[in-house]
Structure 1
Amino acid sequence: MKRPTIADLAQAAGVSMSTVNRLLHGGATVRSETVEHVVETAERIGFYGLGTLRERRKPHRNLGFLMQRSHRPLYQLWAAQIVAAAARRTDTVIKANVLFEDDLAPEAVATNLLSLGKDSDAVAVITADHPLVSQVIDELRATRVPVVAYITDLSAARRGGFVGTDNWKGGRTAAWFIRQTVRERGKVFPLIGSHRYQCQNISDASFRSYMREHAPDFDVSDTLLVHEDPGKAHEVIQKLIDENPDLMGIFVNDGATSGVLGAMRELSPERQRKIRIVCRDLGPETRKGLSEGLITASICHPFDKMPQELIDVMLRLVECPDTPSIEQRLVPFEILTPESIWT
């Protein structure tokens, strides 16, 4: 028996051959009612491209993801996990468009966010909080394109949602590790990358809250700003080590872990063992630091669960673009130590 052709399917469904071709090859949008009718006809006549047509029955979504710093392995890992999570969705065909922003000036972030939103059904963004970014979020929401804050929340009243970890608990957990593992009382120095990242500010505040409550005999310094720059962090830690022989703890609450570790590796093993480092990321350098025993613990974002939750929130907002509420998904953070790290 002759296998049904595209022409046979078009005739049986009462549509043009160009419509069938668009469905098979993912061309221009075809109405959902037409897609359903063509798929049912293909099933009935035993058309060979049934699998492809069934894929076209699923909704197709363009999701945009504005990341930072293309040169940092941590952001490359996050981007790869997002693309992988999008590919695993079985209910929706997702085109994941990841854009890296190396210029972190709010003007550049706002421009790229607006550009990405023009071709997306929803957008997720990792960025510092700034009025220019909030303005673009308002503009996109007016065109029914929701924006979801990822990793660090934003103050924009019209953002669609936030997906991240509980940063208050994260900071207090970091303080708990330092309080429990430091052998001698001394000075503790928190580092922060930017005053405009909500996740870092909240973690910093809760870190201090715990130390005031449970470790009043520690000397916790003012928070040091290192701009997520490894070179700056290396310089700062070198100076702290030289000037503070009673340095006992460092909370790395930003992405400059490699610079901190570089300074630590210049110390004698005896001095290294006295200083406890707790950080909040899990890039390749952090894994190396854990394996070497230089890092006591990493309070980090789970690479597997975070992207799944993010995409789920984005798809829900696409289906309900006019919802007035802000959807918040807090994913439990992971705690890794030198004894639990997978290498």
Structure 2
Amino acid sequence: MRRPTIRDLAQAAGVSVATVNRILSGTVSVRPKTVQRVQSAAEEIGFYGIGAIDDRAKKLSPHHRFGFLLQQSTRELYKLFGKKIIAACRDRRDEIVEPIVEFVDLLTPETISSRLIALGDTCDVVGVIAPDHPIIGQAIRSLKEMGKPVVAYITDQSAPERAAYVGTDNWKLGRTAAFLIAQTTQGPGRIAVFIGNHRYQCQDVSDASFRSYLREHAPRLTVEESRPTHEESSEAYRMVAELLKTTDDLVGILIVGGGITGVLRALREVPAKRRAGIKLVCRDIGPDTRKGLSEGMITAALCHPLEATSALLVQTMIDVIGPQAPVATLQRSIPFEIVTPENI
């Protein structure tokens, strides 16, 4: 097969041979969009000089340093979030984005705030998953004054100085969870709700809308007060195990925070017949959730589509920096996925 020539590349990209030569030599200025068009054409036809064109495109592309503050380095779900965010940064074609992904294990507002400020010192913009707390809000305010926008990811912040929110519509998510439990249970029964922390907006909104739907459509079901797991599986295990010992009318569990591993552990300790009568709905999907789904223990997981959400997060962070950044706070929702044992 004949190797593509410079003339072939020029024709495929819709530019002159002289323009391709200028890009390859790197000695004359060429518009970035033209370089990107030639770069795409070179990849498509398998041009031998793609390495030189890629290098030229990188030199002409804007360079950014993005910080991402996630939670709990020991949790597989957050590790997966981090990997998908890095991939989304590297997939950018019009910019060079250097991702700095850090994890917070001690989830106190003071720790999160100090880590947020530290990331902002070295990055152009910061994406953060964090509870909504005045101390964290002050850190967001301080970073804005430094010209460093903060984008709330997965769970929103009330600080008006935040630049944007990227995540799912949590009101719809909670009502969907309630719909699933109402449709898969019969007769009266008790529903237990577990959240990570009352200060996570995504969890609090999901909790409220879950109750709203059941009051409206399934008053036969009694929803207990929310129990915080503090994002700890051991705490979730302790509470579910106690609940299973002291009640015989439990028909549903909603868990919208961390601790699914503990919930599943407690359910595995009861007879299969009892377990089958308890419908479990959770958020997002890691290895333990996937296993629970495959075993039929989880009725549904309501999940962020990680690739699409990560790409939207990175795009939003690009949109909120620079002279063209919007004045108003951006609110960007992405539809959640419903994963069941039958479509996993």
TM-score range, shorter chain: 0.7 to 0.9
Counterpart among 298, 303, 307 of residue 304 in structure 1: 307
**Which residue is 1:291 aligned to?**
294
Q: 1:147 to 1:313 in 2, by over 3 A?
A: same
What's the offset of the Cα at 1:121? 0.9
**Which residue is 1:69 aligned to?**
72
2:175 is aligned with 1:179: no
2:60 is aligned with 1:57: yes
**Which residue is 1:315 aligned to?**
318
How far apart are the structure 2 equivalents of 1:38 and 1:327?
30
How far apart are the structure 1 equivalents of 2:229 and 2:144?
34
**Which residue is 2:258 aligned to?**
255
**Which residue is 2:202 aligned to?**
199
How far apart are the structure 2 equivalents of 1:115 and 1:239?
41
How far apart are the structure 2 equivalents of 1:38 and 1:190?
56
**Which residue is 2:97 aligned to?**
94
Task: Tell whether the 8 Å contact from 1:255 to 1:281 is kept in structure 2 after alignment.
Answer: no
How far apart are the structure 1 equivalents of 2:74 and 2:159?
28
2:264 is aligned with 1:273: no
Which residue type is aligned with residue 316 of structure 1? D
How far apart are the structure 2 equivalents of 1:50 and 1:242?
66
How far apart are the structure 1 equivalents of 2:61 and 2:114?
32
Q: 1:187 to 1:221 in 2, by over 3 A?
A: same
Which residue type is aligned with residue 55 of structure 1? K
| Aligned pairs, number | 304
TM-score scaled by length of structure 2: 0.85
Q: Which digits, 9 at most, give the CA deviation of each residue in 1:186-223, with x for residues without a partner?
A: 11111111010000000000000001000111111111
What percent of counterpart residues are identical? 45
**Which residue is 2:149 aligned to?**
146
**Which residue is 2:244 aligned to?**
241
What's the offset of the Cα at 1:319? 2.6
Task: Tell whether the 8 Å contact from 2:229 to 2:258 is kept in structure 1 after alignment.
Answer: no
How far apart are the structure 2 equivalents of 1:320 and 1:301?
31
Structure 2: runs of 5+ lacking an equivalent: 1-25, 39-48
2:329 is aligned with 1:326: yes
Q: 1:167 to 1:38 in 2, by over 3 A?
A: closer
**Which residue is 1:215 aligned to?**
218
How far apart are the structure 2 equivalents of 1:287 and 1:332?
20
What's the offset of the Cα at 1:143? 1.8
What's the offset of the Cα at 1:183? 3.2
**Which residue is 2:108 aligned to?**
105
What's the offset of the Cα at 1:50? 4.7
What's the offset of the Cα at 1:37? 6.7
- CA-atom RMSD in angstroms: 2.0
Which residue type is aligned with residue 99 of structure 2? A
How far apart are the structure 2 equivalents of 1:241 and 1:230?
16
What's the offset of the Cα at 1:239? 0.9
**Which residue is 2:135 aligned to?**
132
Which residue type is aligned with residue 314 of structure 2? I
Q: 1:114 to 1:36 in 2, by over 3 A?
A: farther
What's the offset of the Cα at 1:65? 0.3
How far apart are the structure 1 equivalents of 2:30 and 2:250?
71
Task: Tell whether the 8 Å contact from 1:163 to 1:309 is kept in structure 2 after alignment.
Answer: yes
Q: 1:152 to 1:52 in 2, by over 3 A?
A: same
**Which residue is 1:158 aligned to?**
161
What's the offset of the Cα at 1:228? 1.4
TM-score scaled by length of structure 1: 0.85
**Which residue is 2:124 aligned to?**
121
Q: Which digits, 9 at most, give the CA deviation of each residue in 1:68-88, with x for residues without a partner?
A: 100000000000000001111
How far apart are the structure 2 equivalents of 1:210 and 1:35?
64
Task: Tell whether the 8 Å contact from 2:319 to 2:325 is kept in structure 1 after alignment.
Answer: no
Secondary structure class of the residue paired with 1:62: strand
Secondary structure class of the residue paired with 2:132: coil
**Which residue is 2:87 aligned to?**
84
2:229 is aligned with 1:226: yes
Structure 1: runs of 5+ lacking an equivalent: 1-23, 25-33
Which residue type is aligned with residue 329 of structure 1? R
